[in-house]
């Protein structure tokens, strides 16, 4: 599944530094001037999962393939982007293409790093980007309303769509993001074709200095309070430290570095897992001597849909799914032992795949 998370933020907040840290396939240029990132950089990132290592130790396969997410480093936004200021139009178009947003916000003081917005104020910084996205959404909603007003004259049955658009417009005019609005069923369908930017799920990164890695600071606390109001999560981390950790190839060196800062794991692991959860994704595994592999699917998918991420033929010709729960596999240590102890189940087309399932699909095309 080609799922993308866009990394956004005002210029010089540590956005490209974070991308450098999370990406294992590309390096973004990180410099102290506006619009350093113009074309979005894309990096494929492994999703850290201890279960994959456990299965690998048990099965001893020829190769191991983790599941991944694409992170996109999008150009820094400035006030007025919704009207084309800076690289606004390009920035907003790039956001429209991603599935979720990681919003990096500066929560530290450093007079050597350029800041055009004045004193450090994470809530105000959040609101700058929120406002630009809301204004762009408002523009999209108003354009569709104009079209629907003509449609309703010829077809009164289209009136509920126009009513939904009116509610959405009023919500945006209050300075609120659509992801905080309760919409369902036909209401969601009414706005589905205009791909509203503030409807996308968001995860905030409070980029703090070294002294605040564990405790946070007054800036990160203010951001957390603002994020809680819209039921969003905040990850507190130091992007520069994370970039240093990601460049270390020797695991012993990495462990010593983490120990020096009192960290159990890189903050990036928390970020990547949180982004994965933000998209409402789960992992299932295939495990054999040739390969142990993690596969990404949406929570709630049934077995044939889950099979389709391996190959579309698996869904078309789906017969059954031989299923072992992860905990059972770990307990009995092999597929054969699970089978012998009655822990291998045969599931059909209506089975909803659980996180961590080890699956083997039977199909016929």
pLDDT digits (tens, 9 = 90+) for 271-294: 988 988 889 999 999 999 999 999
Domain 300-363 has CATH 3.40.50.620: no
Using a cut of 0.85, tell me whether the model's pTM lies above it: no
Topology (CATH) of 129-197: DNA polymerase; domain 1 (1.10.150)
Residue 360 phi/psi, 5-degree rounding, is: -135, 120
Check whether 37 has a pLDDT greater than 80.
no
Tell me: the pLDDT tens digits for 212-265? Answer: 999 999 999 999 999 988 889 999 999 999 989 988 888 899 999 999 999 999
Architecture of the domain made up of 4-51+60-120+199-278: 3-Layer(aba) Sandwich (3.40)
Give percent of the chain with pLDDT exceeding 70: 89
Check whether 27 has a pLDDT greater than 60.
no
- State the pLDDT confidence band at 75, using cuts at 50, 70 and 90: low
Give percent of the chain with pLDDT exceeding 90: 64
Question: Which regions of the chain does DSSP assign to beta strands (E)?
Answer: 4-8, 41-46, 63-65, 68-73, 100-106, 202-207, 233-237, 281-287, 291-298, 318-324, 345-347, 358-363
- State the pLDDT confidence band at 95, using cuts at 50, 70 and 90: confident
pLDDT for 88 equals 45
Q: What is the pLDDT of the chain when averaged over all its residues?
A: 88
For the chain, the domains span 4-51+60-120+199-278, 129-197, 300-363
Q: Are 101 and 18 in contact (CB under 8 A)?
A: no
Residues making up the annotated binding site are: 12-17
Domains 129-197 and 300-363 agree in fold = no
Q: Are 203 and 102 in contact (CB under 8 A)?
A: yes
Residues making up the annotated binding site for ATP are: 12-17
């Amino acid at each position: 599944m080609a799922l993308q998370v866009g990394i956004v933020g005002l210029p010089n907040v540590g956005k490209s530094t974070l991308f450098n840290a999370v990406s294992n396939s590309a390096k973004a240029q990180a410099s102290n001037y506006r619009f350093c990132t113009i074309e979005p950089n894309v990096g494929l990132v492994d999703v850290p999962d201890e279960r994959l290592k456990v299965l690998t130790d048990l099965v001893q396969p020829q190769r191991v393939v983790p599941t991944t997410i694409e992170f996109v480093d999008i150009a820094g936004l400035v006030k007025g982007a919704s009207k084309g200021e800076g690289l606004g139009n390009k920035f907003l178009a790039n956001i429209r293409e991603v599935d979720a947003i990681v919003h990096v916000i500066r929560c530290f003081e450093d007079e050597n790093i350029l800041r055009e917005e004045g004193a450090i104020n994470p809530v105000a910084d959040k609101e700058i980007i929120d406002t630009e996205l809301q204004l762009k959404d408002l523009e999209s909603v108003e354009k569709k309303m104009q079209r629907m007003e003509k449609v309703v004259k010829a077809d009164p049955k289209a009136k509920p769509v126009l009513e939904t658009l009116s509610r959405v417009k009023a919500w945006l005019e209050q300075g609120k993001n659509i992801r905080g609005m309760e919409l369902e069923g036909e209401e969601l369908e009414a706005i589905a074709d205009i791909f509203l930017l503030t409807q996308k799920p968001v995860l905030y990164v409070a980029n703090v200095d070294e002294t605040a890695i564990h405790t946070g600071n007054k800036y990160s606390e203010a951001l957390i309070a603002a994020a809680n109001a819209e039921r969003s999560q905040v990850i507190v981390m130091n992007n520069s430290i994370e970039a240093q950790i990601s460049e270390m190839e020797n695991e012993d060196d990495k462990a010593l570095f983490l120990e020096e800062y009192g960290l159990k794991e890189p903050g990036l692991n928390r970020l990547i897992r949180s982004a994965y959860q933000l998209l409402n994704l789960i992992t299932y595994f295939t495990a054999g001597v040739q390969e142990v592999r993690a596969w990404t699917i949406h929570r709630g998918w049934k077995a044939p849909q889950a099979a389709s991420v391996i190959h579309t033929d698996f869904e078309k010709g789906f017969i059954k799914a031989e299923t072992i729960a992860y905990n059972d596999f770990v307990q009995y240590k092999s597929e054969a032992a699970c089978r012998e102890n009655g822990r291998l189940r045969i599931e059909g087309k209506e089975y909803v795949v659980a996180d961590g399932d080890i699956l083997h699909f039977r199909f016929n095309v």
